[in-house]
Amino acid sequence: MADISLQAELTRPNPFPDDTAFRLVCDMEDPLRKIRDLLSALNYVAQGVEDGGEAIAAIADATRENLKAAEALRGDLFRLSHPNRAVFEKEGWPA
């Protein structure tokens, strides 16, 4: 069986200074992605559970809705705290 760690680890080093809001916003990306992946796995598990599978899926779905809200807030903070915000607001944000 594969060793699965639930602890969030950054996949790449963050080049921004530790004392900036933008650094913290960037550091949120991997933990949010891992939560999304765990919720997908939970839905998959729920499909195989006869008694209580619907409850597991409902918990995962409700949590996913809150995750979407957290990701949207993170996106807003990303744009507001980006070091090159003025340039991107003038020229357009990358897709």
| Residue 1 maps to a domain | no
pLDDT in tens, 58-90: 999 999 999 999 999 999 999 999 988 999 999
Residue 34 lies in a domain: yes
How many CB atoms within 10 Å of residue 63? 15
When divided into structural domains, the chain yields a total of 1
- pTM, rounded to two decimals: 0.73
Instruction: Provide the domain limits for residue 68.
Output: 28-82
Q: Give domain status of residue 56, yes or no.
A: yes
Distance CA 89, CA 48 (A): 47
pLDDT value for 67: 96
* Cα dihedral 35, 41, 42, 44 sign: positive
